[in-house]
Amino acid sequence: NRMLILLQHHTTGPFADHGKQSLAAVQVWEAKINAEGGLLGRPVQIVHIDNKSDPNTAVSAFRKFIAEGRDITFGTYAAPIVEQESTVAEQERRLYVQSGGYPLALFGRGYKYLFFASRGTSVDLPGPILSFIDALPAEQKPRKISSAAVDSIAFQDLEKHLGPGLKQRATDYSNENYPLGIRDAQPIVQKWKAASPDAVLVHGYAPDTVLFVRAIRLAGLKPKLLIITPTAASLETFPR
- How large is the average pLDDT for residues 50-70? 85
Pairing of strands 96-98, 72-74: parallel
- How large is the average pLDDT for residues 125-137? 91
Quick check: 55 pLDDT over 90? Answer: no
Using CA atoms, how far residue 46 sits from 3, 34, 52, 66, 112, in Å, is 8, 11, 18, 15, 24
For 155, residues 6+ apart whose C-beta sits below 8 A from its C-beta are 149, 203, 204, 229
Higher pLDDT, 49 or 179: 179
Q: Identify the pLDDT of residue 47.
A: 85
- Look at the pTM and tell me if it is higher than 0.75: yes
Radius of gyration over every alpha carbon of the chain, rounded to an integer in angstroms: 20
- Could you write out the DSSP letters of every residue in 60-120? HHHHHHHHTT--EEEPPS-HHHHHHHHHHHHHHT--EEESS---GGGGSS--SSEEE-SS-
- How large is the average pLDDT for residues 177-181? 90
For 157, residues 6+ apart whose C-beta sits below 8 A from its C-beta are 79, 102, 103, 104, 105, 122
User: Nearest Cα to 47, choosing from 35, 60, 36, 62?
Assistant: 62
d(CA 74, CA 58): 12
d(CA 52, CA 59): 12
The strand pairing partners of 47, in sequence order, are 6
Tell me the backbone φ, ψ of residue 117, rounded to 5 degrees.
Answer: -130, 75
For 128, residues 6+ apart whose C-beta sits below 8 A from its C-beta are none
Q: What is the pLDDT of residues 19-32, one digit of tens each?
A: 787 788 889 999 99
